[in-house]
Structure 1
Amino acid sequence: MSLRQTLASLPRDARDTVFLLFVTAWVIAPQATNLPGWAAAMAGGMLLWRGWMAFKGRPLPGRWLLTALVIVAVAGTLFTHRTVLGRDAGVTLMVMMLAFKTLELRARRDAMVVFFLGFFTMLSNFFFSQSLLTAAAMLVALLGLLMALVNAHMPVGRPPLAQTFRIAGTMALLGAPIMVALFMLFPRMSPLWGMPGENLTGRSGLSGTMKIGDMAEIALDERIAIRLRFEGAEADVPPQSALYFRGPVMAAFDGRQWQAEPFREDSPWAARVAVPANLQVTGPAVRYEVTLEPQRQPWLMVLEATPDAPQLSNMQAYMTQDLQWMTTRPITDVLRYKAVSYPEFRHGPQQSVRQLRVYTELPPGFNPRTLELAAQMRADPALANASTDVLVNAVLQRLRTGGYNYSLDPGVFGEHTADEFWFDRKEGFCEHISSAFVVLMRAMDVPSRIVTGYQGGERHPVDGYWTVRNADAHAWAEVWIEGRGWVRVDPTGAVSPGRVGAFQRLRPPQGAFANAMGTISPGMVQNLRAVWEAVNNSWSQWVLNYSQSRQFDLLKALGFESPSWQDLTTVLGILVGIAAGGGGLWTLWERSQHDPWLRLLARTRQRLARAGLQLPDTLPPRAMAERVRAQFGAPAQGVADWLLRLEQMRYAPQPATELPHLRREFRNLPWPTTTTAPKT
């Protein structure tokens, strides 16, 4: 027997239970990666066990077993999260309680508890992800829960699921306008409005440290990190080679790892490098809007260089002394902001100062061959008294002509990373090249440091936004030149000009499936990805980034000069009032579509029931008149005659003309009461 035939042969209660279990599993499934392993396994086991009992018609477990399971779940939550409060612990307990409650499905009351626990669990999925896929999955879950709710209110017969789906779909469509109005106009007042963001694990590849070799792994991550929309004409957009998004600046090197030291007043290292930014911008400005994906870090990605703070809502930003813009708290949600940058700029001290010496320091005992190379270059008569510009060009020329390669997989470097790059492997990713370059420049007593961030970007062919991916993470160098300050030098461009100029990324090896897809339909995968990313971008722009400022922009479009949250509440109240009035009018109209003769007959039964005469709904007026005479005798003869005329009118040629007269008589009839003497 097939599964469909097996389901069709189940009793009505068992079929509805299996359907509700399937919907519950669908609601819980997205939480599997967020729950502790034991909780996900336990919830799945409970649902499978309950499904087996429904199929086999076995009795439900006893109260003592359920109590023991609940104790185990609470103890496991305490052991895993060290608390029963907070987002993660709360979601774990909610999922466990939902799974356990399915083991108590004995009556409609138990089903109602499961329904509403399911709605809350469905909502909790958005605590961890607000992506379009999550929203689509929860829309399916909403329809499933509504179908189960409809089934619970249709106890008679065996209604097909298609019928319950139509009813649930109609309910969802009727509620959609109110949902849209609440979404657009419900005041978003911080800090009450927002999603919890307790997980501060870095999502993007950038971090406050750069270990040689780690950044190459980021090139495998094709997820979008930044979306940009430039203002003005297309000709005003900078070339790809000029798109440098500044992130953490690395100055401290221990021989294996570069680190961005925090600029705290109580930090001795910060005191040594406390050099004013001294930013000076020239040339035309570039205005743009950024949509930054949650990176769990406090870094704002803006183009070099940005003198003024980006326009943020409900968040403050500040610029460090090395031109990095940061927020006061980690960015845990999609963030949109506007910024103004100047590709032509100067920053840092113009004359040598004591604090610059820290940018020439190298750890002792590392990279001896690179130090020897620096001494040889300094001893060269052509470079002995050369300026910093000449030294930089000499090193870049060595990279261009020395057989060095840009590689995504140069292998694992040992203790002396710069030595291995310059003399042994002669290949590496951007952090290998930049690190070796800065080590060599410092060995020649030139202040240097590493800057990490993103470089490049692509204009999306569908929606016109520029996209920067995690794979575009990049590391370049800055050297200090007297009279000019800090100057960007990208040594990767000397090894692979296409990486910076033509924006040619290194691609990881394709798998068998990707190769097969490319063979069957070249470019199809790229086109599908472009469409999907455009849809995701629209979701981010119009849904996830619908902030209070955009609400106020909507009110301004409606004619409000200086909108406030009180205005939002007023407009929302008016719309809800209009919707309530419309619903009332629709209810009146629906009632008017029912048979008025049947409504009048129902009112007659209700009036007689108050007098003590209960009559079945199927009794016609003539039989009702006989029961009235038998119960109340002569005092109720007028009511009996009226019932006979009501039946006669049902079959009259023009019943509509008689009905108003009967309604008026209904109000003036000598209705019997409980004290009316019955016929003897």
Structure 2
Amino acid sequence: MLNTLPSSARWQRWQSLPRDSRDTLFLLAVLAWVIAPLTLELRPWTGAIAALLLGWRAWLAWRAAPLPSRAMRVGLLVLAVAAVFGSFRTLAGYEAGISLAVLLLALKTLELRARRDAMVVFFLGFFVLLMNFLYSQALPLAVIALVGLFGLLTALVQAHMPVGRPPLALAARTAFRLMVFGAPVMAALFLFFPRVAPLWGVPGDTSRARTGLSEDMRVGNIAALAQDGSPVMRIRFPDLPARAQPSQQALYFRGPVLSRFDGRNWTPATEQFNGRYQPRWLPPARLQVRGEPIRYEATLEPSGRHWLLVMDAAPARPEGAEGFLSGDMEWVSARPLSQVLRYRAASYPDYQLGVQATPASLAEYTALPTGFDPRTRALAGELRAQPAVAAGGTPELVDAALARLRSGGYRYTLEPGVYGRDTADDFWFERKAGFCEHIASAFAVLMRAAGVPARIVTGYQGGAPNSVDGVWTVRQSDAHAWTEVWMDGQGWVRVDPTASVAPERLAEFRAPAPEGAFGQAFGAVVGNNFSSRLRATWEALNDRWNQWVLNYTEDRQLDLLKRLGFDAPDWRSMARVLAVLVLVGLLAGVAWQATLRRRRDPWLRLYADARQRLSRKGMPSTEAVPPRALARQAVQRFGESARPLSDWLLRLEAQRYAPAETSASRAALGELRRQMHRLRWPERERAH
């Protein structure tokens, strides 16, 4: 076995391998690199089978053993297809299709004999490499794909090299030059090829209990909540200096609004349409804004959802996004967000929403299911009966409930345990602990029990500025739930009961989400300050990648054409730009070839000039003819008049095999060139 040999013996064994075995092992290593990212997304058995097949093929190459028989390969193919079909009940679709492609690539290596088989493996490798981008277009994956592309090109160049044992370094240098020469073409196509909607974007797994947003809020079912530190969006305030930017406590990014409660589950208002329940997008409620807006740019990570996260309140559609404003003041995208989206928005902190709402339109916001949370209903009656609340109305009721949260021993925790049937009663009277969902839900139930319209708003609160570029990063761990209550004369007013239980949840510098075992170990080795700085630099680099690569949309492409002088750019303008770039590329290629020709061996260039002159005199020859033979042919063809030419050719040949090139030999070659121009060349024979 390969790993039973000492390292020196393995190196000697590698050095003594036949070229086919060495090239095959290198290709298998590249294919393993290409397939590895996909194994994190596909079913575990797919990666395990692919690894076994590639490992088996590597063992056969190392031992120079014969490949499996045709019958065995056919049997493995049938088993692979059956496994995919049995797992997915289809061979179509992105996951089934990608699994099948990965297995076919691994199986194809078992019949890697002729060059035709190698070409099939190469192009399957390129195809599987592209499949990685069906799941993600993040910067780390782009780096992995670039390394995989370099490896596949190196293997492809190596396969076309002459017989013998050309070093892999030579093929790698050629592959690198090919990538460098192809980079301008790639950049031109990226910039000017018409942009189309992406064909990728796979929603994340919503079955995992992690911080983040979902389409509903089921209270009390999750005993412990793990924090996810992955970025959700990045915010920059280009018009505001750092000291004038909003505080962390003011950063509320609005997501889905939940208004229906069945005793345990909060859901948005819905209506039945074609047998399916869809969100009920009401006409926008009357929204009144005052003062100056806060203008900002947001870069939203793909979520597979429809929500455009903006700060309250944004009456105008975010520039760069397609969507509409619902009656609950949610900005909703027309299609699921499957790619990074960059948009600009203007939000007014001073606003009023729904001031003119009628009792009939508010009835659903006071509805509670029958038979749930009796103690909370009784608590609502007690609060209503207080003289201050009776005199002050809803504002005093809200203050009384928040005062109870501040002084009643309630606490914020991510491990509250599983709640019982009456979730609000459990929070107010039994556990007195929970995270924002429990607190917001219990508060909303209390308000409704007191006859006050209330609803849940979910989204994100807070964020942290990057120390490198100053861009605010909002993470999944910043997911939050708060309430809105309707007050006469004010409309819907935000009330965040979590701030009364745990003010540190909205603190200016709250602790970031855990970085995981690897991140903690890395921080312990290199120091937390350096680790934080490195993380900030990486996130700033990721933000640049999102801004300039993933978010290069059709609008930005047209803006680029406008800056290039096109008044009304369209696809014809892009076609003209591409045509000009292709022409420039061709001219650059011609110039490069001319440069290479000038840099070619001067002896070969001089000999080629002599052969070309003889060809014009009626005596063509090929590069394979040496000068001595050409001199003999010239004398036979033209007689003694060609003797000076013959002597010159013999001197040219002698100079070729002189000692290593020195300044004297270069001078001798220059003298031979001058003699060639002074020669009396024999005349071409005329036809009689």
Q: What is the TM-score of this pair, normalised by structure 1?
A: 0.88
Tell me which amino acid in the other structure corresponds to 1:46. Answer: L
1:247-646 pair list within 5 angstroms: 247-262=255-270, 277-312=285-320, 316-350=322-356, 352-384=358-390, 386-502=392-508, 504=510, 514=520, 517-518=523-524, 521-595=527-601, 598=604, 617=624, 620-626=626-632, 642-643=645-646, 645-646=648-649
Equivalents in 2 of 1:565, 1:516: separation in Å?
49
Q: Which is further off, 318-327 or 271-280?
A: 271-280
- DSSP-derived class of the 2:345 partner: strand
Q: Contact 1:28–1:122 at 8 Å: present in 2 too?
A: yes
Task: Report the counterpart of residue 165 of structure 1 in structure 2.
Answer: 172
Tell me which amino acid in the other structure corresponds to 1:372. Answer: A
1:173-212 pair list within 5 angstroms: 173-188=180-195, 190-191=196-197, 194-199=198-203, 201-202=205-206, 205-212=212-219
The alpha-carbon deviation at position 432 of structure 1 amounts to: 0.9
The alpha-carbon deviation at position 430 of structure 1 amounts to: 0.9
Tell me which amino acid in the other structure corresponds to 2:309. Answer: M
Change (3 A) 1:361 1:322: same
Tell me which amino acid in the other structure corresponds to 2:24. Answer: T
Match of 1:243 among 241, 246, 251: 251
Equivalents in 1 of 2:32, 2:525: separation in Å?
38
In the alignment, is residue 75 of structure 1 matched against residue 53 of structure 2? no
Tell me which amino acid in the other structure corresponds to 2:315. Answer: P
Equivalents in 2 of 1:48, 1:211: separation in Å?
46
Q: Which is further off, 553-562 or 362-371?
A: 553-562
- DSSP-derived class of the 1:205 partner: coil
Q: Contact 2:60–2:67 at 8 Å: present in 1 too?
A: yes
In the alignment, is residue 38 of structure 1 matched against residue 42 of structure 2? no
The alpha-carbon deviation at position 317 of structure 1 amounts to: 0.3
The alpha-carbon deviation at position 299 of structure 1 amounts to: 0.5
Tell me which amino acid in the other structure corresponds to 1:458. Answer: A
What is the CA deviation profile of residues 209-264 of structure 1, one whole-angstrom value per residue up to 9, with x for unaligned ones? 11124789666101110111113122542222221111111111121121113356
Tell me which amino acid in the other structure corresponds to 2:475. Answer: R
Equivalents in 1 of 2:178, 2:405: separation in Å?
68
In the alignment, is residue 658 of structure 1 matched against residue 678 of structure 2? no
Equivalents in 2 of 1:81, 1:272: separation in Å?
34
Q: Which is further off, 492-501 or 71-80?
A: 71-80
What is the CA deviation profile of residues 169-209 of structure 1, one whole-angstrom value per residue up to 9, with x for unaligned ones? 22222222222222222221x34xx2423546559721111
Q: Which is further off, 436-445 or 78-87?
A: 78-87
Tell me which amino acid in the other structure corresponds to 1:165. Answer: A
Change (3 A) 1:140 1:520: closer
1:14-29 pair list within 5 angstroms: 14-29=21-36
The alpha-carbon deviation at position 62 of structure 1 amounts to: 2.4
- DSSP-derived class of the 2:308 partner: coil
Change (3 A) 1:620 1:513: closer
The alpha-carbon deviation at position 560 of structure 1 amounts to: 2.9
Task: Report the counterpart of residue 144 of structure 2 in structure 1.
Answer: 137
- DSSP-derived class of the 2:597 partner: helix
What is the CA deviation profile of residues 87-144 of structure 1, one whole-angstrom value per residue up to 9, with x for unaligned ones? 3333223222222221222122322222222122212211111111111111111111
- DSSP-derived class of the 1:494 partner: helix
What are the ranges of 5 or more consecutive residues in structure 2 without an aligned counterpart?
1-5, 656-667
Tell me which amino acid in the other structure corresponds to 1:28. Answer: I
Match of 2:650 among 637, 647, 651: 647
Q: Contact 1:417–1:436 at 8 Å: present in 2 too?
A: yes
Tell me which amino acid in the other structure corresponds to 2:264. Answer: R
Tell me which amino acid in the other structure corresponds to 1:371. Answer: R
Q: Which is further off, 442-451 or 642-651?
A: 642-651
Q: Contact 1:265–1:271 at 8 Å: present in 2 too?
A: no
What are the ranges of 5 or more consecutive residues in structure 1 without an aligned counterpart?
673-680
Q: Which is further off, 206-215 or 447-456?
A: 206-215
Change (3 A) 1:613 1:68: farther
Q: Contact 2:388–2:396 at 8 Å: present in 1 too?
A: no
The alpha-carbon deviation at position 589 of structure 1 amounts to: 2.3
Change (3 A) 1:267 1:165: closer
Change (3 A) 1:269 1:628: closer
The alpha-carbon deviation at position 355 of structure 1 amounts to: 2.4
What is the CA deviation profile of residues 527-551 of structure 1, one whole-angstrom value per residue up to 9, with x for unaligned ones? 2211111111111111111122222
What is the CA deviation profile of residues 338-382 of structure 1, one whole-angstrom value per residue up to 9, with x for unaligned ones? 111111111114354212121111112221211121222233344
Aligned residue pairs, count: 659
Task: Report the counterpart of residue 98 of structure 1 in structure 2.
Answer: 105
The alpha-carbon deviation at position 486 of structure 1 amounts to: 1.0
Change (3 A) 1:367 1:108: same
Tell me which amino acid in the other structure corresponds to 2:194. Answer: P
Change (3 A) 1:175 1:510: closer
Tell me which amino acid in the other structure corresponds to 1:658. Answer: Q
What is the CA deviation profile of residues 554-574 of structure 1, one whole-angstrom value per residue up to 9, with x for unaligned ones? 233333333333222222221
Q: Contact 1:636–1:670 at 8 Å: present in 2 too?
A: no
Equivalents in 2 of 1:308, 1:437: separation in Å?
31
In the alignment, is residue 230 of structure 1 matched against residue 237 of structure 2? yes
Equivalents in 1 of 2:415, 2:348: separation in Å?
35
Equivalents in 2 of 1:271, 1:671: separation in Å?
94
Q: Contact 1:91–1:124 at 8 Å: present in 2 too?
A: yes
Change (3 A) 1:518 1:288: same
Q: What is the TM-score of this pair, normalised by structure 2?
A: 0.87
What is the CA deviation profile of residues 497-548 of structure 1, one whole-angstrom value per residue up to 9, with x for unaligned ones? 2323536358669869727835872433222211111111111111111122
Q: Contact 1:12–1:158 at 8 Å: present in 2 too?
A: yes
Q: Which is further off, 156-165 or 428-437?
A: 156-165
- DSSP-derived class of the 2:256 partner: strand
Q: Contact 1:127–1:196 at 8 Å: present in 2 too?
A: yes
- DSSP-derived class of the 1:154 partner: coil
Equivalents in 2 of 1:109, 1:172: separation in Å?
24
Q: Contact 1:200–1:332 at 8 Å: present in 2 too?
A: no
Q: Contact 1:261–1:269 at 8 Å: present in 2 too?
A: no
